[in-house]
Amino acid sequence: MARADRSHPDNAEGPWFVDDRCVRCDSARHWAPDLIGTDGRGRSFVARQPADEAEEATLWRAAAACPTLSIGNRDQRRPDRAPFPHQLTPGVYALGHNAPASFGAHSYLAAWPDGNLMFDSPRFTRPLAEAVDALGGVAHVLLSHRDDVADADRWADRYGARVWIHEADADAAEYATDVMAGAEPRPVAPGVVGIPTPGHTEGCVCWHVDDRWLFTGDTLHWNHRRGELDVTPLQTFFSWEVLADSMDRLAGLRVEWVFPGHGRWGDVGTAKYAEQMSGLGPAMREAGRDGWARRPGTAFDWY
């Protein structure tokens, strides 16, 4: 529950507030970018109060996504209708309930004919689980890397789902049923492929679905501040050079939507995706990790 007694001093006057336990994960600003601001330390606050029901709904989603439960309303109870799962595009749902163990990473559910796909893990809550039940449950839990495992074991147990992870990060999910090896793509089901993309960690995997959707974990995201596909230099823990090579690998895919763990999701479109990705790896090599980190709009993309 949000702590009104610890309200951020920059909150706009009114019922909505963010408390000072914010950990700078950026998830609230992804849901309510016109309402949530950021201070000089990257912490969120309510920049202005919502003006209508649609804006109220975005803040309820931000509140349900916040991993520290730092967003609250002094006057209203949570609405009866749960804000998640929330459809982002037909067939793909944001799950919200971002887990502290994943530093507030997003997770997703894709409806799929051979059984639904969960990409990384939200916090396990009974209301969310019942909503996922109504969507048909989960056949595969597809983990992008070690950082965003969260409650994957509980979701897998509920549905008897297979759990996928790369061998380089497999110690984070010892219960995984399917462990990818090496650098070659691995089919999961018809139209679903895991593509090893080391860089952030050694075991990062992106999941390419139906030649339309790319679920990227911490490998690639839509930088809503600069309006372009981007990577996170400050959180590249394995290798910047290898991450640039992974961008080259992803550049050859056909992609419409990018769904990251950290950073904003985006309906990029195939033409813009191809154009931007063709130059991303080379630009990363030219700038270097430190040069990339100094660009405006990078420091608080997440973390």
pLDDT value at position 303? 40
Q: Is residue 23 located within the same domain as residue 142?
A: no
Q: Is residue 180 located within the same domain as residue 213?
A: yes
Q: Is residue 201 located within the same domain as residue 245?
A: yes
* 40 confidence band (pLDDT: 50, 70, 90): confident
Q: Is residue 212 located within the same domain as residue 131?
A: yes
Rounded to 5 degrees, φ, ψ at 19 are: -90, 175
Structure tokens at 26: 């950026």
User: What is the tens place of the pLDDT at every residue in 150-177?
Assistant: 999 999 999 999 999 999 999 999 999 9
Does the residue 54 lie in any domain? yes
Q: Is residue 115 located within the same domain as residue 185?
A: yes
pLDDT value at position 297? 75
Rounded to 5 degrees, φ, ψ at 55 are: -70, -35
User: What is the tens place of the pLDDT at every residue in 71-127?
Assistant: 999 998 877 788 999 999 999 999 999 999 999 999 999 999 999 999 999 999 999
Q: Residue 69's closest CA among 25, 109, 12?
A: 25
SS3 annotation, 198-239: CCCCCCCEEEEECCCEEEEECCCEEECCCCEEECCHHHCCCC
Lowest mean pLDDT among 24-28, 89-93, 188-192, 289-293: 24-28
Q: Is residue 52 located within the same domain as residue 167?
A: no
Does the residue 302 lie in any domain? no
Does the residue 78 lie in any domain? no
Three-state DSSP class for 171?
Answer: helix
* 42 confidence band (pLDDT: 50, 70, 90): confident
User: What is the tens place of the pLDDT at every residue in 104-114?
Assistant: 999 999 999 99
* 245 confidence band (pLDDT: 50, 70, 90): very high
Q: Is residue 212 located within the same domain as residue 125?
A: yes
Name residues whose C-beta falls within 8 Å of residue 196's C-beta, 6 or more positions apart in sequence. Answer: 166, 180, 182, 183, 184, 185, 203, 204, 205, 246
Does the residue 15 lie in any domain? yes
Percent helix, strand and coil across the chain, each to the nearest 5: 30, 25, 50
Q: Reply yes or no on whether the pLDDT at 299 is more than 80.
A: no
pLDDT value at position 78? 79
Q: Is residue 92 located within the same domain as residue 181?
A: yes
Does the residue 80 lie in any domain? no
Q: What is the pTM of this model?
A: 0.95
What is the average pLDDT value for the chain, to the nearest integer? 94
Last residue of a domain, one of 16, 49, 73: 73
Our count of domains for the chain comes to: 2
Q: Is residue 174 located within the same domain as residue 51?
A: no
Q: Is residue 171 located within the same domain as residue 271?
A: yes
Last residue of a domain, one of 28, 47, 73: 73
CATH of the domain at 277: 3.60.15.10
CATH of the domain at 8: 3.30.70.20
Residue 142 lies in domain: 86-293
Last residue of a domain, one of 73, 100, 131: 73
Q: Is residue 202 located within the same domain as residue 111?
A: yes
Q: Is residue 67 located within the same domain as residue 90?
A: no
Does the residue 303 lie in any domain? no
Mean pLDDT confidence for 207-231: 94
Q: Reply yes or no on whether the pLDDT at 184 is more than 70.
A: yes
